[in-house]
Amino acid sequence: MKLLVCVKQVPDMESRFKPDASGVWYNEADLAFRMNEYDEYAVEQAVRLREELGEGTLLTVLSIGPDRVVETIKKALAMGCDNAVHIQDTTVSAKDPWQIASIIATYAQDKQFDLIFTGMQSQDRGSAQVGVTVAELLKFSCTTTIVGFAYDSCTVTTKREIEGGIKGVVTLKTPALVTCQLGLNIPRYPTLPNIMKAKKKEIVAIQVTDFMTTESRVTTTHFHSPMKKSGGIVLEGDVGELVDKVRAILKEKSLVLR
């Protein structure tokens, strides 16, 4: 059985974002990068399945981006992926989800993957399109935002997260693709022997130009901070004074102090 997990390297969301020179994406200076949170759930689930199925199963991790993404690939390998594909692309942030999905699908189309795992969305771009689009392009069965997963002889049983706390139980026949959501699992912390082993695992580097077949379908014209809610006030300073101010505001709005 062949498994693929797609991961993206994103900035840590605690960072302060500033527009880059083009004004359509963030400036990478002073950002700390890590694996996209949802992709961690995807890797964990893929590795669990890989362990469950044992010998004869091959789990590949794929990432697109500049050299820095190798760190993220290594983490996935240390978590238990067997090998890796690094699609080298220094201008990955300029590509839209459609192009990213096309690149992945072009890579995957002749590889006979049975199951593909992706995150439900990236934390930085947040379009929630790439996974589903890959499935569409590969004509894979697909479901999204899963918080439960089980596999048994070509059938994947998932629990989808639905608004209001309910879950939808969905089964898929392989080949299939699932996008993973917070709550699916707790990603493991790589052990040192696995980190060491990961250093020896193969990372195939391929130029993105080999898979670039599409034009972008959306154009970003501006990257900026959201406007604050009008009338919203920001208070800062000594805790004691803050408490007095807040109490006064609440009292004025007669929201408290019944």
- Restricted to residues 15-34, the positions that interact with another protein (CB under 8 A) are 15-17, 24, 26, 30-34
Q: Is residue 171 part of the contact set for another protein (CB under 8 A)? A: yes
- Restricted to residues 238-257, the positions that interact with another protein (CB under 8 A) are 239-240, 242-244, 246-247, 249-250, 253, 255-257
Q: Is residue 182 part of the contact set for another protein (CB under 8 A)? A: yes
Q: Is residue 204 part of the contact set for another protein (CB under 8 A)? A: no
Q: Which is nearer to another protein, 18 or 207 (CB)?
A: 18
Shortest Cβ 67–another protein spacing (Å): 18
Q: Please identify which residue in 129, 149, 180, 208 interacts with another protein, judged by CB under 8 A.
A: 129
CA 232-14-70 angle, 5° bins: 150
Count of other CB atoms within 10 angstroms of residue 204: 11
Q: Is residue 53 part of the contact set for another protein (CB under 8 A)? A: no
Q: Please identify which residue in 74, 133, 151, 185 interacts with another protein, judged by CB under 8 A.
A: 133
Q: How far out from the chain centre does Cα 212 lie?
A: 21
Shortest Cβ 202–another protein spacing (Å): 17
Q: Is residue 203 part of the contact set for another protein (CB under 8 A)? A: no
User: In b/e form, how buried is each residue of 76-92, taking b as 16+ CB within 10 angstroms?
Assistant: bbbbbbbebbbbbbeeb
Give CA–CA dist 250/247, Å, rounded: 5
Q: Which is nearer to another protein, 55 or 215 (CB)?
A: 215
- Restricted to residues 82-111, the positions that interact with another protein (CB under 8 A) are 96-98, 101
Shortest Cβ 197–another protein spacing (Å): 9
CB-facing half-sphere around the CA of 55: CA atoms within 13 A: 0
CA 152-201-84 angle, 5° bins: 60
Map tokens 């939808």 to a residue. 168
Give CA–CA dist 100/117, Å, rounded: 15
Give CA–CA dist 150/2, Å, rounded: 16
Give CA–CA dist 118/42, Å, rounded: 5
Q: Is residue 1 part of the contact set for another protein (CB under 8 A)? A: no
Q: Is residue 170 part of the contact set for another protein (CB under 8 A)? A: yes
Element (H, E) at 254: none
Shortest Cβ 80–another protein spacing (Å): 11
Binding region for another protein (CB under 8 A) out of 62-70, 111-119, 162-170, 203-211: 162-170
Shortest Cβ 229–another protein spacing (Å): 6
